Chains A and B, each alone.
Chain A
């Protein structure tokens, strides 16, 4: 591919990225200009073709769009709403009810100390075009600041709504969980129109989990838009970070999750479920860096891939020299159904310390024929039997979700989705 074509490709987004006043925006724009659009020859994008994202033309996201607001979650949570990336105070709950907690639009606090000290610090822009694009012109996003030893009482429900196609939405979040603090965030991507498949949601989030703090994130992608997301997480000593990513819809979904275990005793748990049909392409890329001794990580991703869908998993565990007594587990299981469905999995271990216990496992197969036969012999219809087994397949990931209300809600959505696979 010639340089000219690459420039042409980015030409569709460049005008939208100019003129932003966010910190570091102009440097990021320079990076966007110099970085090529990744091709399948780029190792990190080997199985995910993104050039098509640059074929369409995009409009700036519209914050005032009219739409029907989805129902509240069936349990108590503080709701904050972003419409096409823009913060909507009028639709959000009162965000100032909890003491020592800041839940607000990030844009309004860019000049404030804690934000300035952390914004953009753990996101290198020189390697990844999409990070640079986001940093060049973020739409808006959530600032979550939880002060020392504070426990946020209610989960924070971040509702991100895409109302129409053809938009470039760039959510940008910053989560600061100070020493000994606790927080739980539910992030839900929904859409209110069918043509959102032509919208690109390019998100970037930075999370700092300080010493002894705990952050729980539940991420649910059930809109049809194209998603490119990156999450950069730093966990300090004895901190705990746990995330579950559930992908039910989307044209092209790429989730990059980079976790750096930066203090002894830090722990990360990464869970994922992807249920794909149609032509959905879902690519989960995780990186766990064990940079200091005595850290643990546990990763479990499971997916069912049907029709013409494609599931990609790339999990990398990196253990730095001297990161002794590391324990890292990683598992990826896939069920393929449909003659044109594809799964590409690449679980990687890169280890430079000796006193470690690391393992990964990966399976690709179909539902257990013997179990199916057993159920059928007990009078269960084939369709029902398959649904039962598919449901069972996802349960061990669901059981890891610590919030039982959310688990129940999510299970409902997953069962609905399984009916259509």
Chain B
């Protein structure tokens, strides 16, 4: 690994942001601004049934009454929600049977991203549902999954083909009233992924979605809904890159996970959206609501995230542990450099008996960035024998960055055990010295130490993601050491 890291560091020295390019595909846009008609436009565009439109409109009415949250430890100019486009889709093309028929420019984009569908199919064996500016372009492995009874499709398709499942679970974990950004998403969500694993089925491959924001001035509003029925297992990967843009781009996604009795969901994210340039110009605003509901007894939801991108991250993948003896996990590495700001963490709400949660959060700040961990562990009155362990460490590289910890710990049950610990420190000078003395240059030494520091989290990632994540860490911190 060290050899790799070094190569990567050298490789990227001259680069600003490898994935900074835009694709010119004629896109169909809704007019700027947000009102009930835009919501109707989006719904009509997607041929949605009446109930879906009603659901969106209600969300819009709720959103109108809400105020943008101010409590996070991030600063950004006020967003004018009326000065953005809420819908953009690649123009409808005739149905394709193979990739060859697809727009060559599109294929080119995927190639630059390094997620060539062909290669993915052949080498990794991962089914990829590519979300390209809000509309699913191509879904692979669908047939293979179908045999097992697994539904893995775009959200729009799910609305058409499996309305009963969507109706039952949509908004059941993140209700429209949950928060400002969730309400906004509920009103205007463009597309996303839908996944249902039937009872007792173990999903044979890692499911994956690549998101990509392409259209300038387009807010991207994905909606992901993942349901693991009784005794099912699924591991889901989400990875993101986005091109350079000067205008700030808003991204407000909602991810809902439902785990029924004895089911297990593992949700991994590598987020590498455009963080803005050195002076904080541009970059994505990432305001995401992710929540998993352990509905059934002995169910388990595990979040793993590696966050290196975005100008602003506002994200709290959470678990509601409702079923008795259910388990929630949160493993996170958040890296901020230059002018990036991240306010991220988790919420573990213990409701059921014997529920268990683990939180491991590693924050790394460099440059002029600010990195905050914000978490809530709540043990309800009925959560007899609940158990939580949290560990939040922060590493500081440079004297102009900030690292903050805001944990909320609430216990209302005397039989519960809650432990929280946090440390903040500088990268060890003696460790760097030691590595220097062994002939390892400083930048590489830092990379080594950082990788070791994050190991606990990186180990949770599926193999192919772990490699990518390690690369990302090195790239993100490039230039941060004296």
Contacts and interface: CB of A to CB of B under 8 A. Distances in A.
A and B held together in a complex = yes
Interface of A: 43, 321-322, 324, 334, 336-366
Contacts of B424: 349, 351, 356-359
22 contacts: A321-B400, A336-B413, A341-B412, A342-B410, A344-B409, A344-B411, A345-B410, A346-B406, A346-B407, A348-B407, A349-B394, A349-B403, A349-B405, A351-B394, A351-B424, A352-B402, A354-B398, A356-B396, A357-B423, A358-B424, A361-B421, A363-B417
Contacts of B394: 349, 351
Contact of B399 (A321, A334, A346): A321
Contacts of B398: 354
Contacts of A340: 381
Residue among A321, A357, A360 with the highest chain B CB neighbour number at 10 A: A360
B419 interface: yes
Contacts of A354: 396-399, 401, 426
A349 B404 contact: yes
Contacts of A351: 394, 396, 402-404, 424
* Most-contacted residue by chain B among A324, A334, A350 (CB, 10 A): A350
B347 to A, nearest CB: 14
Given A359-B422, A362-B421, 16 more contacts: A336-B411, A339-B381, A340-B381, A345-B408, A348-B404, A353-B399, A354-B426, A355-B399, A356-B426, A357-B424, A359-B424, A362-B420, A363-B419, A364-B379, A364-B417, A365-B417
A336 B416 contact: yes
A352 B404 CA distance: 8
Task: Kindly name the residue among A351, A356, A366 whose own CB sees the greatest number of chain B CB atoms within 10 A.
Answer: A351
Contacts of B396: 351, 353-354, 356
A359 B394 CA distance: 10
Interface of B: 71, 379, 381, 394, 396-426
A337 B411 CA distance: 11
Given A354-B396, A354-B401, A359-B424, A344 B418 contact: no
Contacts of A347: 405, 407, 409, 420, 422
A357 B409 CA distance: 23
Interface of B (DSSP majority class)? strand
B389 to A, nearest CB: 10
B287 to A, nearest CB: 20
Nearest to A359: B423
A356 B408 CA distance: 23
A50 B400 CA distance: 39
A362 B403 contact: no
B274 to A, nearest CB: 26
**Which A-B residue pairs are the 5 nearest by beta carbons?**
A354-B396, A364-B418, A336-B414, A365-B417, A362-B420
Nearest to B427: A354
Contacts of B411: 334, 336, 342-344, 364
Given A321-B399, A347-B422, A356-B396, A366 B404 contact: no
Given A348-B407, A362-B409, A363-B419, A324 B399 contact: yes
A338 B412 CA distance: 10
Contacts of B408: 344-346
Contacts of B403: 349, 351
Contacts of A342: 410-412
Contact of A350 (B401, B402, B412): B402
